[in-house]
Amino acid sequence: MTGKLPLSGWLSWLPFGAVPYITPESAAKDLQQFLIIDVRTAQEFKKSHIPGSISIPLHTLNKTQLQQLQNNKPVLCICRSAHRSKPATRKFLNSGFDAYELQGGMLAWWKLKLPLEEQA
């Protein structure tokens, strides 16, 4: 084994293609129903994030972390513009989670002026 991902492995990390999604308006109605995973960088998360979300930057998302998360709620993957959330959503789906991405990412969330939290 060379440690290289097969082509199908690389394709799963591309920020293109369709994955299941939830609109910001639908998600905002009841955030408690989701396990919200923000895959942006820690700095992006600190500036503002959706209340109740967990920061797991995409480059650190691994099988061990996935196994430690609850699997009793649908996962909602979030990034800035719905590009990093696509491979994250695929990773959750491949691990047996009911997973979705936030359509339009945080850009759509901010545009609609939906609830935010900030860290000092």
Residue 21 in this model has a pLDDT that exceeds 90: yes
Closest CA to 34 of 97, 84, 87, 85: 97
**Largest distance between two CA atoms of the chain:** 49
Asked if the model's pLDDT at residue 58 lies above 60, the reply is: yes
Q: What's residue 16's pLDDT?
A: 57
Cross-strand bridge partners of residue 89: none
Q: Helix (H, G, I), strand (E, B), or coil: what is residue 88? A: helix
Burial readout 56-93 (b: 16 or more C-beta within 10 A, e: otherwise): bbbeebeeeebeebeeeebbbbbbbebebbbbbbbbbb
Residue 14 confidence class, pLDDT cut points 50, 70, 90: low
Identify the helix (H) or strand (E) that includes residue 111. helix 105-111
Going along the chain from its start, the domains and CATH numbers come out as 34-120 (3.40.250.10)
